[in-house]
Structure 1
Amino acid sequence: MTQPMYDDAFLAKLEAGLRSALPFWGLPDATALKLLTISENATFRAHDPLSGRHVVFRVHRPGYHTRTEIESELAWLTALGRDGVVPTLTPVPKTDGTLIADIDDEGTTRHAVAFELVSGSEPAEGEDLPRWFRELGAINARLHAHARSWQPPAGFVRKRWDYDAMLGNVLLWGDWRAALGLTEEGRAILERTALVLRDLVADYGTAPDRFGLVHADMRVANLLVDGDRLSVIDFDDCGFSWYLYDFAAAISFVEHEPYIPQLQAAWIEGYRTVAPLPDEDCAILPVFIMLRRMLLTAWVASHAETPTAQAMGEAYTHGTVALARIFLARYDAGLPAAGNERAAS
């Protein structure tokens, strides 16, 4: 059942706010707006019937990113496009040359940005998915190389996706302990998993060759296939984290699927066509997958009003506990692998 925050009245108000900002981009009142997605932010497709122009707008959720953080994301996107690193979104400036408009939402300020429309569709599950993960691995290698060499502009600020932000003291996406349907047994298992993860990522460290600016949300919903081209969109969560975290984020919400090892092998193969990826780094991938899964479990609980979270529900929590049992059997001999938690579907 949809929560009140996302009822028709809320969406109509959001659209009206965006419509008030259209003149900043030189778009007329006759512009048609269509809601594409809504999660952290709302994304709309705009079509000007007079010029035939198409633009994608992102209306930001209040209280998540500051204006400076959004400006920093757009600065990296602009650099990636200029340097030909990856097919991605191109920010569209307003008529005054700036990139962000403010929308008043009954006293709350929402930031809005615009992008050129990127053609393509989300890659589908099936035999072609490893092909696209091979390409994604190559894209990640190029992104990581660019991040290591790029000099961000003065004042560049993006969130840091480290252990503290995910499962520690900062908790950018909420507390996994509030997970929907979490049992007392499940909580104990996840408590132990969090401690093991803390120690493992601390051992791996945050040296500059391992930790830097990443996309952090390359799940299939943020990939577009058009012929032989794979584009990456939605840099809204880009920030500083482990480079290998990008693979963990790429399999968001499907970490339990039996085809994940195939996707991982394809991603590694693609990465190595561009840059070295030592076996010792590949061996840490299951750690980042488990870390991401626990982070998403917290996100589902703290964003229960969103359609994505509603689709996951308690089954995702039970699946997280099931994966944690398998994880602990590998990394912590103190806990048996058997259990009665249901896997996510």
Structure 2
Amino acid sequence: MSEVLINSLDSVIKNALDNYSFLSGASIRLLNKSENTTFVVEKPTTKNRWILRLSRPGYHTKTEIEAELQWMKAIRQNTSIIVPEPVAGNNGDYVQSIPDQTNQDPYYYTLFTFLDGIPPDENNFNSLLHYFRKLGEITAHLHNHVQQWVESNDIARPEWDFDTMLGQNPRWGRWQDGPDITSTQMSLFKHVVETISIRLKKFGKTEDRFGLIHADLRLANLLIDQEQIKVLDFDDSGYSWFLYDLASALSFIEHKPYIPALIAAWLTGYESLRVIPERDKEEIPTFIMLRRLLLLAWLGTHENSETAHSVVNDFTLETEILAKKYLLDFGTRFVVNTLSL
């Protein structure tokens, strides 16, 4: 998030409070700063809390944010999945904007109800397996909902396909600009990208494989409140392959030795509600590699983020190891022999 924005925090607060009359007298504090900046808003007199999300300029249009909220409302109305509720401002709109002062894209912000809970414990392996089963179940529930929801094919959300991830129009930046890529790694990743492209074209985008998804359904975006599991952060939601939701669940840990166990747990939960054909399961490594290289691109354009600082040191090297294994399993004989894996 830009320094200009942080220095303009007072104007952000004033603008927000002015647009929600019921927030008069509320306090506001920074919660998280990543793709968006989020704040906790609290009324001292009632202890009621909300989440205020300030979107990065240029990342989404107002129409795209409204479409995100439309899906969240449909989930609340038509499923048992617990997600935050968008809150309208004084003008009746759910997406507000900070007036453009610099001839750049405006800042859009949205208020949500605050959900109680804590993130799942990712340090306990048994707990991790348990929540990955739950995560698979929730993901299947969302996918079933999407295929039954008439508007799901018509809302204005971005498409996450090969072109917008690793191709000519990358939304998160070029994978080639990832951190500390050597010439040898560049050649390796290029062959992997070509292999992914070929396999995804063959896999196709039929409606049983491709549709509206969360696209960032990781444990970090769940809250546990006793026996309830709540889902957060639909900001990246868009049209992509359903199996990409599994790949995103493994973000930044794709290289860990326990990944096969997490995949099995996720599939157990998912297939309790929705069957995945064996032919589709064969491409799970392709989607995991797709996501991993997308994250490499993201790190290249978000080098100052907290996430980048926590993972960047060995990320490219670990990606190289994953890439070599992927090519051994899925690459052509010519590529494997050329790279002397």
TM exceeding 0.5: yes
| Match of residue 135 from structure 1 | 134
Partners of 2:268 and 2:340 in 1: CA distance: 33
SS at match of 1:55: strand
Task: Answer yes or no: is the 8 Å Cα contact 1:18–1:103 preserved in 2.
Answer: no
Matches within 5 A, 1:224-263: 224-263=223-262
- 1:115 and 2:112 aligned: yes
Please report the TM-score for the alignment, with normalisation by the length of structure 1: 0.92
| Match of residue 99 from structure 1 | 94
* Structure 1 residue 183: Cα displacement: 0.3
Task: Answer yes or no: is the 8 Å Cα contact 1:73–1:238 preserved in 2.
Answer: yes
- 1:65 and 2:60 aligned: yes
* Structure 1 residue 142: Cα displacement: 1.1
- 1:16 and 2:11 aligned: yes
Partners of 2:340 and 2:216 in 1: CA distance: 31
SS at match of 1:180: coil
Partners of 1:100 and 1:181 in 2: CA distance: 39
| Match of residue 191 from structure 2 | 192
- 1:81 and 2:76 aligned: yes
Partners of 2:180 and 2:152 in 1: CA distance: 44
Match of 2:32 among 37, 52, 55: 37
Partners of 2:322 and 2:153 in 1: CA distance: 42
* Structure 1 residue 159: Cα displacement: 0.4
* Structure 1 residue 279: Cα displacement: 1.8
Task: Answer yes or no: is the 8 Å Cα contact 1:85–1:146 preserved in 2.
Answer: no
| Match of residue 220 from structure 2 | 221
Matches within 5 A, 1:327-338: 327-332=326-331, 333=333, 334-335=335-336
Partners of 2:134 and 2:146 in 1: CA distance: 18
Q: Residues 86, 245 of structure 1: CA spacing in aligned structure 2 closer, same or farther, 3 A cutoff?
A: same
Task: Answer yes or no: is the 8 Å Cα contact 2:212–2:239 preserved in 1.
Answer: yes
Give CA-to-partner distance per residue, 1:85-141, whole Å, 9 cap, x none.
411111111133220111136434100001111111111222201111111111111
- 1:289 and 2:284 aligned: no
Task: Answer yes or no: is the 8 Å Cα contact 2:152–2:212 preserved in 1.
Answer: no
* Structure 1 residue 18: Cα displacement: 3.4
* Structure 1 residue 248: Cα displacement: 0.3
Partners of 1:254 and 1:77 in 2: CA distance: 28
* Structure 1 residue 53: Cα displacement: 1.8
* Structure 1 residue 17: Cα displacement: 1.1
* Structure 1 residue 19: Cα displacement: 3.3
240-249 vs 10-19, which deviates more? 10-19
Q: Residues 315, 246 of structure 1: CA spacing in aligned structure 2 closer, same or farther, 3 A cutoff?
A: same
Task: Give ranges in structure 1 of 5+ residues lacking alignment.
Answer: 340-345
Partners of 2:142 and 2:325 in 1: CA distance: 31
Letter in 2 for 1:97: G
Q: Residues 251, 15 of structure 1: CA spacing in aligned structure 2 closer, same or farther, 3 A cutoff?
A: farther
Partners of 1:210 and 1:155 in 2: CA distance: 17
Matched-pair identity in %: 36
| Match of residue 278 from structure 1 | 277
SS at match of 2:52: strand
248-257 vs 14-23, which deviates more? 14-23
Letter in 2 for 1:110: Y
| Match of residue 266 from structure 1 | 265
196-205 vs 277-286, which deviates more? 277-286
Task: Give ranges in structure 2 of 5+ residues lacking alignment.
Answer: none
Task: Answer yes or no: is the 8 Å Cα contact 1:18–1:59 preserved in 2.
Answer: no
Matches within 5 A, 1:169-208: 169-208=168-207
Partners of 2:119 and 2:245 in 1: CA distance: 18
SS at match of 2:169: coil
* Structure 1 residue 335: Cα displacement: 1.9
* Structure 1 residue 78: Cα displacement: 0.2
| Match of residue 311 from structure 1 | 310
Partners of 1:155 and 1:202 in 2: CA distance: 23
SS at match of 1:231: strand
| Match of residue 301 from structure 2 | 302
SS at match of 1:188: helix
Partners of 2:111 and 2:121 in 1: CA distance: 27
SS at match of 1:113: strand
| Match of residue 343 from structure 1 | none
Give CA-to-partner distance per residue, 1:171-207, whole Å, 9 cap, x none.
1110011111100000000000000000111111100
Partners of 2:272 and 2:317 in 1: CA distance: 37
| Match of residue 166 from structure 1 | 165
Q: Residues 155, 241 of structure 1: CA spacing in aligned structure 2 closer, same or farther, 3 A cutoff?
A: closer
